Structure 1
Amino acid sequence: MRYVVFAFFLLFNISVNAQSSYLFKPDRVFDGTVMHANWWVLVRDSQIVAAGDPATIQVPEKVTVIDLKGMTLMPGLIEGHSHLFLHPYNETSWNDQVLTESGAERTARAVVHARATLMAGFTTARDLGTEGAMYDDAGLKEAINKGIIPGPRLIVATRAIVATGSYGPKGYNGDIPLGAEEADGTDGLTKAIRSQIGHGADVIKLYADYRWGLNKTPAPTFTATELKLAVEVAGSSGRYVVVHSGTEEGMRRAIEAGVRTIEHGDGGTPELFRLMKEKGIALCPTLTATESIASYKGWRKGIDQETVAIKQKHKIFNDAMKAGVTICMGGDVGVFAHGDNSREMLLMVEYGMKPIDVLHAATAVNASVFGLPLLGNIRAGYVADLIAVKGDPVADIAVVKLVSMVMQNGVIVLDITR
């Protein structure tokens, strides 16, 4: 049996002298869209050079052959919604994480979380806000890219942006750290977006609504004009805007503004999902976060009746599918444990999506929506991010938890196949 191998010197911006070739022989290959039986996949250095019927592949003389009997070879999974600087709220409340955990502790935790994410087969992740840890996700990304620590390829949002007075922590005297950056209006939003870009943000995240209405009910924050401005300012640098939204009006404004993805989407209606489909806006439903928060409050899955929030998740998820909305895979991991990312995939199937479509969402769909043109697929010329799982995930989606091999950028970082 071969165990974890940490060889992170082969990243996008680092070259090596020796060339390496691998020939994978699994029972089946999921290429990002279709499942194929009896395919081989050939990798040279950091690139997939061939994938298909064995008779079509020219095997070089010097190649490491890896037999994956009984296994499925897939593209590296892509996490759509994570917070590497958070850990489950039943361990420490969100308020206490933001207010009492030192920067050093939060970074140390993020390093551990990054490794757990990669070992779970997620070779890429969107990190959508440090929740009070300032711009440290940009530094974490750089450390991973330099090979200092293991972790997924990161798309980072740094601090995220909220309307003044809307976000937490709240209820404390004096100046306290906030979980995101406050900004309003033309000048304020423009400055905050450009500042976050300057600090390393790959994507701009805004909270289109939050629990700041009367009696702490969810209510919109930014106006439609402000959201449109954010899309324009971010877009001028080639970046897109993602919004947190859980209300009908917040979603309506975000759709009107032309954001790239809506996170959570609990206020979705058939009409809004129709508009999202028309405008090509994707939904990242974060099913696991909703169930996790309910469980922290005492809800017992399979024993207690579903909460109102969980029932609403079922409804919006199925309404979005019926409307043909592009659905991303992202669980809001950090609310629940890092390394358990694939739990979202199991829930997507439980909530009504076909397993093959869930695999598609977690690979090729996420790659396309997030602007990652050479990831999420097993094709010649694509980056060699590959994972092997025991069994057939189309027959049983739960086998995505049985990760036996992880390759990132052509380097095997986990191998327990033998």
Structure 2
Amino acid sequence: MIDARRLRPAVYAAAVWMGFAGAAVAHDFDIDVPGLDPVIAPVTEGATLFQNVRVFDGRSPDLSPPSNVLVRGNIIERISTGEIEAGGDVSVVAGDGRVLMPGLIDAHWHAFMAATPQPVLMAAEPSYLHHRAAHEAEAILMRGFTTIRDLGGPVFGLKQAIDEGLVPGPRIYPSGAMISQTSGHGDFRFLFELPRQPGGPLSYSEREGIAAIADSPDEVRLRAREQLRNGASQIKLMAGGGVSSPHNPIESVQFTEAELRAAVEAAADWGTYVTVHAYTPTAVRRAIDAGVKVIDHAQLIDEATVQLMAEKGIWWSLQPLTYDAEVFARMSPVSQQKALQVFAGTENAYKLAAKHNVKTVFGADILFDPGAASRQGSYLAMLTKWMTPAQALKSATGDTGEMLALSGFINPYPGKLGVVEEGALADLLLVDGNPLEDLNLVSDPDKNFLIIMKDGKIFKNSVSR
């Protein structure tokens, strides 16, 4: 029995045309379309037993006593300090006292753009770009990031291919196109694509699903609903200037409160939330006043605004954006100037977040840079400049899993993520070493992540047998 929404798009379209889709949403049923079989990833049979492991559960600052962890299907079935009997269908992994922890979660990633240089992105054949994104998706998973929150780009097809088992990669919480005002941080149009005319052709970045331009509450509502229709789990808006966009200063405030609120209302109608790109206090406050639940970046924030975030329970997706000579050299001169402004505020942002106990999650936010993307784990390790290894790992596991649940009834992966506990989804890493003592272990996943499991399936196993 299958849900028609998980079929190939062509099959689902046929189901809609034949009047099946309404019933498919309400009930599971068999659809027999000759020559078109649904591509559904099978649930793994059997089980995996991790013996003699110390567990970092995604919440506690301490490791567990030596324990055994049983995974059956895609669920953590049992955790015990006592013996767990291994039946005939159970594969046994000898942990030998190593650390078992949740798969890492990156709360701010761009699967379509992180590892593709911007000139290539704007000039290459789209099918080539999607192949690059699929290749990078496997690399993300092999770095131990079993889930990403994708904050802009055409990844709906990539997500479907990963979920169906066609290509390896992380779970993806997609935003779809970044919604931007004209001249906003998501306005990557070529000069020859201006001026914009009502009813005129879409720009290249809009056609490819990278961005969506909107300049009124009604247009914002329309673009938000389009992303929800395509499968977005949350909506991303640009509320202020950015580093990588050439036509807006960091200090610029983007979208009116009414425009932001239109997106918030559209998302709330689907049980989910809006996250915004913003650096300055003015941009952050306007977003909060409009009902936004997650702020991304905010390196230039002031203490009064951080207090407001704490009082209202706003989530802060904060990135350790600091000067890196190699990455900096690959930026355009305009981006370099704006990046220095952001770098100058990073340390203060982390200190204010800790001082006021704002709910903070980790994100790397790499754009257009394959070299930086390959060091995704290194960005997480940088957090020890401002917090303990346990706090840093919690911000990339249990805390982020809690934030992802804000997507409500359209959550693409209902269940507990980012934790090692009974009943949680089985996304697990077996680490050679103790990351609560040395977080730099996550910077070298090839060496230190011996097992990478996502959804109960082992994608890497280098444990000696």
Under TM normalisation by the shorter chain, which class is it? 0.7 to 0.9
Matched, 1:260 2:293: yes
Moved more, 44-53 or 322-331: 44-53
With over 3 angstroms needed to count, the CA separation of the structure-2 counterparts of 1:295 and 1:36, relative to structure 1, is: farther
CA distance in 2, matches of 1:114, 1:288: 22
Structure 2: gaps (5+ residues) = 1-38, 195-202, 334-338, 406-413
- Secondary structure at the aligned position of 2:98 is classed as strand
For 1:355-394, list aligned pairs within 5 A.
Answer: 355-371=389-405, 373-394=415-436
Do the aligned partners of residues 223 and 46 (structure 1) sit closer, same or farther apart at CA in structure 2, a change above 3 Å counting?
Answer: same
Q: How far apart in 1 are the matches of 2:131 and 2:246?
A: 36
Residue aligning to 2:379: 344
Residue 68 of structure 2 is aligned to residue 50 of structure 1? no
- Which of 78, 82, 87 is equivalent to 2:109? 82
Q: Distance in 1 between matches of 2:329 and 2:378?
A: 14
Any unmatched runs of 5+ in structure 1? 1-11, 131-135, 300-305
What amino acid is the match of 1:410? G
- 1:406 matched to which residue of 2? 452
8 Å CA contact 2:250–2:279 kept in 1: the answer is no
In 1, the alpha carbon distance for the partners of 2:104 and 2:353 equals 22
Seen in structure 2, the aligned counterparts of structure 1 residues 339 and 206 have a Cα distance that, compared at 3 Å, is same
Measured in 1, the distance between the counterparts of 2:307 and 2:451 equals: 40
> Residue 233 of structure 2 aligns to a residue in which SS?
coil
* Residue 125 of structure 1, aligned match among 138, 141, 148: 148
1:7: which partner in 2? none
C-alpha distance in structure 2 between counterparts of 1:42 and 1:293, whole Å: 42
- Per-residue CA distance 1:34-89 (angstroms, 9 max, x = gap): 2213111111121111113125x45445422101225210111111111111145x
Mapped pair 1:64 → 2:91: yes
C-alpha distance after superposition, 1:174-233 (max 9, x if no partner)? 455245111122211111111111122111000001259998453111112221221111
- Give the structure, 1 or 2, with the largest relative contact order (CA under 8 Å, sep 6 or more): 1
Q: Is the 8 A contact 1:261 1:282 kept in 2?
A: yes
- How far 1:241 moved relative to its partner? 0.5
- For the residues of structure 2 that align with 1:396 and 1:365, how far apart are their CA atoms? 20
Q: 1:338 to 1:112 in 2, by over 3 A?
A: farther
**CA deviations over 1:83-114 (Å, ceiling 9, x no partner):** 111145xx73x3x2442122112101100110
Distance 1:84 1:215, change over 3 A: closer
Q: Residues 14 and 147 (structure 1 numbering): CA distance in 2 closer, same or farther, change over 3 Å? A: closer
Q: How has the CA–CA distance of structure 1 residues 407 and 344 changed in structure 2, closer, same or farther, with 3 Å as cutoff? A: same
Normalising by structure 2, what TM-score?
A: 0.78
CA distance in 2, matches of 1:380, 1:214: 50
Q: How many residues align?
A: 389
- Residue aligning to 1:395: 437
Name the SS for the 1:360 alignment partner: helix
- Aligned mates of 1:19, 1:217 — CA distance in 2: 51
The AA in structure 1 aligned to 2:388 is: K
Separation in 2 of the partners of 1:338 and 1:410?
26
In the alignment, the residues of structure 2 paired with residue 295 and residue 361 of structure 1 have an alpha-carbon distance, to the nearest angstrom, of 29
Any conservation in 2 of the 1:363–1:376 contact (CA below 8 Å)?
A: yes
Query: Aligned equivalents of 1:99 and 1:215: distance in 2?
Result: 19
Matches within 5 A, 1:7-18: 14-16=41-43
Answering whether residue 78 of structure 2 is matched by residue 40 of structure 1, we say: no
Q: Is the 8 A contact 2:159 2:171 kept in 1?
A: yes
* Change in 2 beyond 3 A, CA 1:103/1:77: same
Q: Distance in 2 between matches of 1:222 and 1:268?
A: 18
Correspondence for 2:156: 138
Assess if the C-alpha contact under 8 Å between 1:288 and 1:343 holds in 2: no
Task: Name the residue aligned to 1:28.
Answer: 54
Contact 1:331 1:344 in 2 (8 A): yes
State the alpha-carbon separation in 1 of the partners of residues 79 and 173 from structure 2. Answer: 27
Of 164, 186, 189, the match for 2:182: 164
Say whether 1:173 aligns with 2:206. no
Which amino acid in 1 is paired with 2:235?
I
Superposed displacement of residue 341, structure 1: 2.1
Kept after mapping to 2: 8 A contact 1:70/1:391: no
Identical aligned residues as a percent: 31
Corresponding residue SS for 1:317: helix
Which whole-Å CA distance do the structure 2 matches of 1:19 and 1:328 have between them? 34
- 1:329 counterpart = 2:325: no
CA RMSD across the alignment? 2.6
Is 1:247 the counterpart of 2:280 in the alignment?
yes
CA contact (8 A) 2:152 2:211 kept: yes
Per the normalisation by structure 1, the TM-score is 0.86
Distance 2:156 2:248 in 1: 36
In the alignment, is the contact (CA less than 8 A) between 2:181 and 2:255 conserved in 1? yes
Post-superposition offset of 1:170: 5.6
SS where residue 201 of structure 1 aligns?
A: coil
What secondary structure is seen at the aligned counterpart in 1 of 2:396? helix
Tell me which amino acid in the other structure corresponds to 2:424: Y
Q: CA deviation at 1:273?
A: 1.0
Closer, same or farther: CA 307–172 of 1 in aligned 2, 3 Å: closer
The alpha-carbon deviation at position 397 of structure 1 amounts to 0.4
3-state secondary structure, aligned to 2:397? helix
- Partners of 1:249 and 1:345 lie apart in 2 by 28
Q: CA deviation at 1:389?
A: 1.3
- Aligned residue for 2:50, secondary structure, equals strand
CA distance in 1, matches of 2:65, 2:121: 48
In structure 1, give the amino acid aligned to 2:148. Answer: A
Query: 1:86, 1:97 within 8 Å by CA — same for their partners in 2?
Result: no
- Residues 214 and 44 of structure 1, relative CA distance in 2, 3 Å threshold: closer
Q: 1:334 to 1:397 in 2, by over 3 A?
A: same
CA distance 1:107–1:248, change in 2 (3 Å): same
Identify which range, 250-259 or 240-249, moves more after superposition: 250-259
Instruction: Work out the CA distance in 2 between the residues paired with 1:190 and 1:307.
Output: 34
Change (3 A) 1:185 1:309: closer
Residues 19, 98 of structure 1: alpha-carbon distance in 2 compared, 3 angstrom cutoff:
closer
1:230 partnered with 2:230: no
SS at match of 1:37: coil
SS in 2 for 1:36: coil
Q: Would the aligned equivalents of 1:242 and 1:263 in 2 still touch at CA under 8 Å?
A: yes
Cα distance in 1 between the residues matched to 2:389 and 2:42 = 37
Q: Is contact 2:321–2:346 with CA below 8 Å preserved after alignment? A: no
